[in-house]
Amino acid sequence: MNANQIRNIAIIAHVDHGKTTLVDAMLKQSRIFRENQQVEERVMDSNDLERERGITILSKNTAVHYQGVKINIVDTPGHADFGGEVERVMNMVDGVLLLVDSVEGPMPQTKFVLRHALERGHKVIVVVNKIDRPNARPNYVIDTTFDLFVDLGATEEQAEFPVIYTNALTGQSGLSPDEMTDSLMPLFEQILEYLPYPQVEPNAPLQLQATLMGYDEYKGKIVIGKLNSGTIQKNQQVLRIDRDGNHQSLKVTQVFTHEGLKRVKVDQAQAGEIIALTGLGNVGIGDTITDPEHPKPLPPIKVEEPTLHVTFGVNTSPFAGREGEFVTSRKLRERLYMEAEKDVALRVEDTDSPDTFLVAGRGELHLGILIENMRREGYEFEVSKPEVILKKINEKWHEPVEIVEVEVSEEFQGSVVELLGQRKGQMVDMELKDGSVHYTYRVPTRGLIGFRQQFLTATRGEGLIHTLFGGYEPHFGHIHTRDHGSLVAWEPGEATSYGLHAAQERGTLFIKPNTEVYEGMVIGQHIRENDLDVNVCKKKQLTNFRAAGSDDSLRLEPPKNLSLDDALEYLAEDELLEVTPKDYRIRKRILPKNQRRRYQKQGGRVKS
């Protein structure tokens, strides 16, 4: 297939603006599936976590055919924490569909993704989705999108973008909101007409950059990238050039192209195609695969630095080894370094302790997804409180700052302004929108750790918050973010209704009766700033007047069910999160009560 019969495009959008649903519709209308085939919604979200959370975490490739042209589509994550995926994908495509909601318009994380597309010089088609919404305002959305292009330094040609209106759920599209067709034909036509075919050199020596990684149980590591020049065929000898300039001779075992949701084995691929290769061993993201006789490396992929780090360690709690399949430091180290190979936005380092590893990522969600994936794979480990990564610039410490956009109803605005003020937030902009208030703040990343739960509580779950990395600024000084302590189990055993009833007067419980606990395990949140040791295993003393089942009459408040993300946000500096395939528990670093008190009296501060 010639390069002019190919279009390589990425679909970018903010979380929940419908890009995965649009890919579904494009697949269905290009007859990828059989007429009677059962196809689930959001078919591109193949990962269990993606389905549960309703977000795209990993970039995925698919391909459709329209009028003899093959359209390779890459569905990208919309959350800034997975920006490492987006930055790499921009090296692999030649044009972009920017999807915006017909009511919300471009959101903070739209800016993040779009900036990288414009910097690469890509042309953009703006797709205004969910045009059927009752309060849709397409003219406002297009105006704000144009302003965004200008703010991000788009060229005149990029700023003169075509607009397509869609309802991805029903597979409709049109050149205006009032002239919608029952198919996506207008969108396909615009892709062929406006977005360029790959500018490649078919007769030049082989050159490909490893952009994405996959893994197959039988084929091993799969390297995905765009063939920039030349051709490649199975069993061909190639040369790998890594980011340090080292050379290694390798042999390509198999070559695949994409057709629909499947990888199709081919004998040879031409320049311009997005392909997958097997047999290349330890090739890393950003490495160049080239002709051994004409080695020509491509510029390495640059990715923004991580802003948060945590420590992963072998589980040291009294319950260690009960629930996990992989519990040793060797297995933990292997898994973390394997993840760092696939995800260039992640950093993994050994520490002074052989059982502990430092893992840095782009945000709490980025690290939380890794923790959840490892837990489901059977790993058992403990994690520390997330901490920001400081940088020394001109002999002064600087810390990462987030641009925070908040939308709340007017009745809650006072509480939100107070919360952000306590966390050293600086208001940049304020706008009134139909009974709600839209704020833009610059807040130290450190101040946002644990903020989301307080924000949702203050707005009764109605507030919207979006964050975007905003660079580094001089250190803001002390930030008081935690106004509560923990309720800590005093002794090991099973929690009783009697013990929990006494403890619930001191705060909010995280556990229910008959839960097994150990000394030093956090079982609730104290109403005051200090920690409080409580005996939740105690039983009521028997007397002649005690009736059978009298414990059952005690009224207990339902425990607060913390998600993994909530538990990670909750952690104090002297606490750890014990993670197993079946459960996760918050615990003190120093478990025995007497040792903890002695350490505090000596003025000790536990380092994370």
| pTM as predicted | 0.74
Q: What is the dihedral of CA 127, 128, 131, 135, to 10 degrees?
A: 170
Is 275 marked as binding a ligand? no
Q: Average pLDDT for residues 176-187, to the nearest whole number? A: 91
Asked if the model's pLDDT at residue 56 lies above 60, the reply is no
- How confident is the model over 133-151, as a mean pLDDT? 91
3-state secondary structure of 22: helix
Q: Is the dihedral of CA 243, 244, 247, 253 positive or negative?
A: negative
* Whole-number pLDDT of residue 35: 42
Has 20 been labeled as part of a binding site?
yes
SS3 assignment, position 333 = helix
State how far the alpha carbon of 426 is from the alpha carbons of 82, 308, 421, 457, 476, in Å.
26, 21, 7, 21, 11
Strands of 95-101's sheet in order across: 60-66, 69-75, 6-13, 95-101, 123-129, 163-167, 172-174, 180-181
Structure tokens at 421: 């003020």
Q: Is 17 annotated as a binding residue?
A: yes
Name the residue with higher pLDDT: 552 or 429: 429
- pLDDT above 60 (res 49): no
Residues 494 and 512: their CA atoms lie apart, in Å, by: 10
Q: What is the pLDDT of residue 31?
A: 62
Every domain range in the chain assigned CATH 2.40.30.10: 207-290
Query: In the predicted model, what is the mean pLDDT of the chain?
Result: 85
Q: What is the mean pLDDT of residues 573-582?
A: 94
Q: 19 labelled as ligand-binding?
A: yes
Q: How many other CB atoms are there within 10 angstroms of residue 480's CB atom?
A: 10
Residue intervals in the chain for CATH 3.40.50.300? 3-194
pLDDT at 210 over 70: yes
At 508 the pLDDT is: 93
Q: Is 539 annotated as a binding residue?
A: no
pLDDT digits (tens, 9 = 90+) for 435-446: 788 889 999 999
CATH superfamily of 486-601: bipa protein (2.40.50.250)
Query: Domain 3-194: what homologous superfamily?
Result: P-loop containing nucleotide triphosphate hydrolases (3.40.50.300)
130 annotated to a ligand binding site: yes
Q: Look at the domain 391-474 and name its fold.
A: Alpha-Beta Plaits (3.30.70)
Q: What is the mean pLDDT of residues 456-471?
A: 82
- Can you tell me the mean pLDDT for 528-536? 92
Least-confidence region, from 50-54, 165-169, 234-238, 475-479 = 50-54
Residues of the chain with CATH 2.40.50.250: 486-601
**In the chain, which segments carry CATH 3.30.70.240?**
391-474
CATH of the domain spanning 207-290, picked from 2.40.30.10, 2.60.40.420, 3.30.420.40, 2.40.110.20? 2.40.30.10
Which one is predicted more confidently, 515 or 43? 515
Q: 387-388 and 308-314: which strand pairing?
A: antiparallel
496 carries a ligand binding annotation: no
The response to whether 350 counts as a known ligand-binding position is no
Residue-level pLDDT at 85: 64
Is 447 a known ligand-binding residue? no
18 labeled binding residue: yes
Give yes or no for residue 282 having a pLDDT over 70. Answer: yes
pLDDT (tens digit per residue) in 395-428 = 899 999 988 888 888 888 899 999 999 999 999 9
| pLDDT surpasses 60 at 552 | no
As a whole number, mean pLDDT of residues 183-188 equals 92
One-letter amino acid of 361: G
